[in-house]
């Protein structure tokens, strides 16, 4: 539970190797922070040295987005061992290569299973926990890619469109419970996932996404765009005629 000054004491990251997710955790940590829980498919690959050096108790646990039957148990076990989480972050996902997926329907289905189905299961499990405890914030890492799906990465974009819609509805369902959902919509972010890709305009660093996310949590916002100008750009993109949109290189 947050302390009297509103500082986060326990934060959970589902997607313990996500650079954006880890940057958000880092930005949330304060002298009041007691526990950081990093949940990842391969716990042995998760680095905890920096946060342990700052005196934070870091717990690394196994979490697999493709095993939805385990998700509620994972969240409940975290709460049993570390107390009520203040912030739960859903930051796992895969980008994929559209040309490769065009020829691999099974691979496309697997990506959808991680990015969307896994996030739905994890989101519902986290929401159930936050609803029971009567407080807490769920951060869902969406993307501008879901605002209007592009042909160059339409499988990935479709998963983000679905996730974003799910998160909006989940947030509405939590109104009055004491818990809430924050949807984060970054544009292109420089990370290992996008390494080698040509940066889109207004590209950001993970730390910029983290700073905007933490401020939005403090302000009690429902959605945050990173950078903020993308909100207005995609408002225009949303209404472009389809033939023109197909020709856009964004």
Structural domains of the chain ordered from first start? 10-247 (3.40.50.720)
> Mean pLDDT, to the nearest integer, of 168-176?
98
Three-class secondary structure of residue 175 per DSSP: coil
Chain mean pLDDT for the chain: 93
pLDDT digits (tens, 9 = 90+) for 146-168: 999 999 999 999 999 999 999 99
Highest mean pLDDT among 7-11, 51-55, 105-109: 105-109
pLDDT digits (tens, 9 = 90+) for 207-221: 999 999 999 999 999
Residue with tokens 């302000």: 219
Give the pLDDT confidence score for residue 4 in this predicted structure: 45
> Mean pLDDT, to the nearest integer, of 56-66?
96
Which residues, at least 6 apart from 165, have a Cβ–Cβ distance to it below 8 Å? none
pLDDT at 222 exceeding the cut of 60:
yes
Give the pLDDT confidence score for residue 197 in this predicted structure: 82
pLDDT at 125 exceeding the cut of 80:
yes
> Mean pLDDT, to the nearest integer, of 75-84?
96
pLDDT at 229 exceeding the cut of 60:
yes
Residue 131 to residues 88, 116, 148, 171, 237, Cα–Cα distance (Å): 13, 22, 32, 11, 36
**Nearest-angstrom CA–CA distance, 117 and 92:** 12
Give the pLDDT confidence score for residue 77 in this predicted structure: 96
139: left (phi over 0), alpha (psi -120 to 50) or beta: beta
Model pTM score = 0.94
- Residues marked active site are found at 156
Give the pLDDT confidence score for residue 245 in this predicted structure: 75
Give the pLDDT confidence score for residue 78 in this predicted structure: 96
Three-class secondary structure of residue 55 per DSSP: coil
Percent above pLDDT 70 for the chain:
97
């Amino acid at each position: 539970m947050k302390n009297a000054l509103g500082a986060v004491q326990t934060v959970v990251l589902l997607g313990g190797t996500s650079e954006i997710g880890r940057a958000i955790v880092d930005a949330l940590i304060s002298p009041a922070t007691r526990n950081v829980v990093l949940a990842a498919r391969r716990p042995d690959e998760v680095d905890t040295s920096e946060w342990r050096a700052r005196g934070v108790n870091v717990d690394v646990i196994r979490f697999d987005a493709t095993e939805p039957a385990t998700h509620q148990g994972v969240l409940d076990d975290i709460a049993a061992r570390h107390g009520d989480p203040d912030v739960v972050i859903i930051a796992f996902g895969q980008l994929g290569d559209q040309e490769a997926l065009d020829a691999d329907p099974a691979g496309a289905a697997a990506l959808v299973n991680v990015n969307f189905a896994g996030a739905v299961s994890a989101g519902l499990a986290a929401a159930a926990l936050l609803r029971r405890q009567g407080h807490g914030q769920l951060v869902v890492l969406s993307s501008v890619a879901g605002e209007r799906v592009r042909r160059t990465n339409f499988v990935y974009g479709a998963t983000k469109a679905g996730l974003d819609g799910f998160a909006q509805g989940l947030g509405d369902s939590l109104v009055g419970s004491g818990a809430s959902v924050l949807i984060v919509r970054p544009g292109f972010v420089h990370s290992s996932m996008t390494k080698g890709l040509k940066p889109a305009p207004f590209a950001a660093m993970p730390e910029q996404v983290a700073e905007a996310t933490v401020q939005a949590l403090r302000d009690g916002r429902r959605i945050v765009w990173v950078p903020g100008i993308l909100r207005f750009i995609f408002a225009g993109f949303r209404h472009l005629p389809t033939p023109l949109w197909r020709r856009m290189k964004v």
